[in-house]
Amino acid sequence: MSNQTVRQAARRAAREVQKRVLEERTAREKRLQTLGMQVCVELAERDEAVVLRERRAGEALRQMTKGEGMPLSEAALWSGEISLREAGRLRALALDTHSSEAQVEAEEPVEVANQD
């Protein structure tokens, strides 16, 4: 074999190896991208579930304090002895939900019947 033929064969072999390495890297990056996206989605769903549960707990605390006239400190004791600070935070979440729902209802356009 001539020098030129050996060089061409070596270049071809190097290109094939480089192509295979690049394909493997691309496939790995796609797998990592998919897994990273899955992590983000799972954490977002977890956070949404936590917020929902905390708002429900806050609503129960709100009912205890507003509906039953119980002081927040006593409601906290009835709720597994959570701290007063935590009870206040949870109740505030429920209040925020109520005020934002009322605001959305107030902002919705009201249909007026045609008065001909």
Residue 33 lies in a domain: yes
Residue 111 domain flag:
no
Asked, for residue 115, whether it belongs to a domain, the answer is no
Give yes or no for a contact between 53 and 93, defined as CB atoms under 8 angstroms apart. no
Whether 95 maps to a domain, the answer reads yes
- Residue 70: domain span: 3-101
Tell me the pLDDT band of 103, cut-offs 50, 70 and 90.
low
Q: Are 61 and 87 in contact (CB under 8 A)?
A: yes
Please tell me the predicted confidence (pLDDT) of residue 1. 67
**What is the tens place of the pLDDT at every residue in 7-23?**
999 999 999 999 999 99
Report how far residue 4's alpha carbon sits from residue 78's, in angstroms, rounded to the nearest whole number.
Answer: 88
31: in domain? yes
Instruction: Say how many domains are in the chain.
Output: 1
Q: Does residue 85 form part of some domain? A: yes
**Residue at 57 is within a domain:** yes
State the Cα–Cα distance between residues 7 and 1, nearest whole angstrom: 10
Is residue 108 situated within a structural domain? no
Which of 64, 65, 51, 50 has the alpha carbon at shortest distance from 96? 51
- DSSP 8-state secondary structure symbol assigned to residue 63: I
Q: Is 108's pLDDT higher than 60? A: no
Q: What is the pLDDT of residues 43-89, one digit of tens each?
A: 999 999 999 999 999 999 999 999 999 999 999 999 998 999 999 99
Distance from C-alpha of 52 to C-alpha of 59, rounded to nearest angstrom: 11
Least confident of 91-95, 96-100, 104-108: 104-108
